[in-house]
Amino acid sequence: MTKRSGNLTPIASSASNRCFGCGPANLTGLRLEFMLADDGSVASFARIPDTFEGPAGYLHGGIIATLLDEAMSKAVRARGNASMTRTMAIDYLRPVPSGTPLRIEGRVVRGEARKHWAEARILNENGIVLAEGKGLFIEVRPPARN
CA of residue 117 relative to chain centroid, distance: 14
Please report whether residue 50 resides in a domain.
yes
Please report whether residue 3 resides in a domain.
no
Please report whether residue 97 resides in a domain.
yes
Given this model, what pLDDT does residue 17 score?
A: 80
Please report whether residue 89 resides in a domain.
yes
Domain span holding position 44? 8-139
Given this model, what pLDDT does residue 18 score?
A: 81
The pairing of beta strand 8-10 with beta strand 35-37: antiparallel
Q: Splitting the chain (146 residues) into consecutive groups of 10 residues, what average pLDDT does each group show?
A: 65 78 84 94 97 97 98 96 96 98 98 97 98 97 76
Q: Are 13 and 23 in contact (CB under 8 A)?
A: yes
Please report whether residue 82 resides in a domain.
yes
Given this model, what pLDDT does residue 2 score?
A: 43
Give the number of domains in the chain.
1
Q: What is the domain-level CATH number for residue 126? A: 3.10.129.10
Please report whether residue 145 resides in a domain.
no
Please report whether residue 85 resides in a domain.
yes
For 5, counting Cβ atoms within 10 Å of its Cβ (0-12 exposed, 13-18 middle, 19+ buried), the class is: exposed
Please report whether residue 1 resides in a domain.
no
Q: Are 80 and 116 in contact (CB under 8 A)?
A: no
Given this model, what pLDDT does residue 21 score?
A: 82
